Amino acid sequence: MAFTHFGTDLAIDLGTANTCVYAKGKGVILNEPSLIAFNAVSGVVEAVGTAAREMLGRSPSHLRPVRPIKDGVIADFDATEKMLAHFIRKTHQMVRAWFRPRVLVGVPTEITPVERRAVKDSAYRAKASEVYLVDEPMAAAVGAGLPIADAAGNMIIDIGGGTADIAVISLAGVVIGRSVRVGGDAMDDAIIHYLKKRHDLLVGERTAEAIKIEIGSATPLDAPLSMEVKGRHLSKGVPVKVMVTDAEIREAIAEPLRVILRAIRETLDQIPPELSSDIYDRGVALCGGGSLLRNFDKRIRDETQLARADGRRPAVLRGGRRRQDAQRRHAAQEAVDPVVPRPRRRRGTGKQRSTGAAENERSCYAAALVARAASV
């Protein structure tokens, strides 16, 4: 029996808001917030993921929730290592693998080589045997089922918690890629500042996110929405309740949306003419939690004059559960960033691995690539 059957391959979407893990042959088996809570006195990890999110804004002074990923890149190296180690250990228990996993990690398009190295080192220190990096828009396009291997333009917009990635893909390569560090978290912060300025009301991150989900929109709605929001009055210092409308939230998140739309227009302005005609015919694919904002696709159509802005196709979690055919596996192999794994000692005379073993490894990564999961 080949020893590869005792290990597993993992694809990790290391997002600002959520971390998703896909295991080959199992599908998406973990989707938890990118949060870790430390004991400020002893330095011990108290909670990770969903358990840490429950502590956000409600923890005593000695418990310190930390977001190790900021704007799509690692902000706290040690916290990221501990969080990744917890998630990898948890998935290992689910799949009952014997050996350390090989890991594929999605990263934003325009991060620096230093930031790429930080992601790779964190995965190695979290007990991964080999680490590969892939640009998130490419992985999202594969998971969404776009024909990235064709000689035609495919445009995808991935609105995550910390970044918005825009890419035009053709022949299994990124022709134009752009990333802005504005996403769902920036919208939450804008809502917090708006309520503080307009209603003299102080709310937390979880409440701001709930407001965005419940009544947030990118354009005026046919049926207006409203929501009761509870928080602390800044001048009176007492708990209060106010009524907030969708028009107010639309005004609050106008600036983050403007930044994202400006990046989309700048990307469209740089596309070669032949690919522009393809994108006009095929439209734009949307994915990521930020794209779930009401009427966001309509706002893109109004701003860019494109015929379609399809927000239904890129259910990337769905795409991660299906196997790709040989053509798509080949395209995925070409898209992987070949970060060289750490050398490992081998027994015997040092002969190279067989062609079949190398082909099996490449197919593993191709299958794992389709697992890039959008934060929802």
**Tens digit of pLDDT for each residue in 116-137?**
998 999 899 888 889 999 888 8
- Kindly list the domain boundaries of the chain, sorted by start residue: 3-140+316-369, 152-182+266-310, 185-254
- The model's pLDDT over 88-120, given as tens digits with 9 standing for 90+, comes to 888 888 887 678 888 999 888 878 889 899 899
3-140+316-369 shares its CATH topology with 185-254: no
Distances (CA, A) of 194 to 218, 238, 249, 253, 289: 16, 19, 8, 9, 22
Give domain 3-140+316-369's CATH number out of 3.40.50.300, 3.40.50.10540, 3.10.20.30, 3.30.420.40: 3.30.420.40
Between residues 358 and 53, which one has the greater pLDDT?
Answer: 53
DSSP string for 6-60: GS-EEEEEE-SSEEEEEETTTEEEEEEES-EEEETTT--EEEETHHHHHHTTT--
Share of the chain above pLDDT 70, in %: 79
**For residues 29-56, average pLDDT:** 90
Query: At residue 81, what are phi and psi to the nearest 5 degrees?
Result: -60, -45
Helix (H), strand (E) at residue 294:
none
Residue 186 has what pLDDT?
Answer: 95
Picking from 14-23, 47-56, 348-357, which range would have the lowest pLDDT averaged per residue? Answer: 348-357
Rounded CA separation 370/316 (Å): 8
pLDDT at 6: 53
Position of tokens 């892939």?
Answer: 134
Count CA within 13 A, CB hemisphere, residue 199: 24
- Least confident range from 107-116, 157-166, 316-325: namely 316-325
pLDDT band at 196 (very low <50, low <70, confident <90, very high): very high
| pTM for the predicted model, two decimal places | 0.78
Tokens of 296: 């966001």
Q: Which residues are within 8 A (CB) of 153 and not within 5 positions of it... i.e. 6 or more apart?
A: 168, 169, 170, 175, 271, 274, 275, 276, 277, 278, 279, 282
pLDDT at residue 311, as a whole number: 56
Q: What mean pLDDT do residues 64-84 have?
A: 89
Q: What's the rounded Cα separation, in Å, for the pair 205 and 93?
A: 32
CATH superfamily of 152-182+266-310: ATPase, nucleotide binding domain (3.30.420.40)
**Band of pLDDT at residue 269, cut at 50, 70 and 90:** very high
Residue listed under structure tokens 């053509």 = 327
Tens digits of per-residue pLDDT, 329-344? Answer: 444 454 544 443 444 4
Q: Report the phi/psi class of residue 366: left, alpha or beta, with left for phi > 0 and alpha for psi in -120 to 50.
A: alpha
What per-residue confidence (pLDDT) applies to 343? 41
Contact by Cβ (8 Å): 369, 105:
no
Write out the CATH class of domain 185-254: alpha beta
pLDDT band at 73 (very low <50, low <70, confident <90, very high): confident
Identity of the residue numbered 352: Q
Residue 222 has pLDDT above 90, yes or no: yes
Concatenated DSSP letters of 123-184: HHHTT-SEEEEEEHHHHHHHHHT--TTSSS-EEEEEE-SS-EEEEEEETTEEEEEEEES-SH
Q: For 48-62, 72-86, 319-333, which range has the lowest pLDDT when averaged over its residues?
A: 319-333
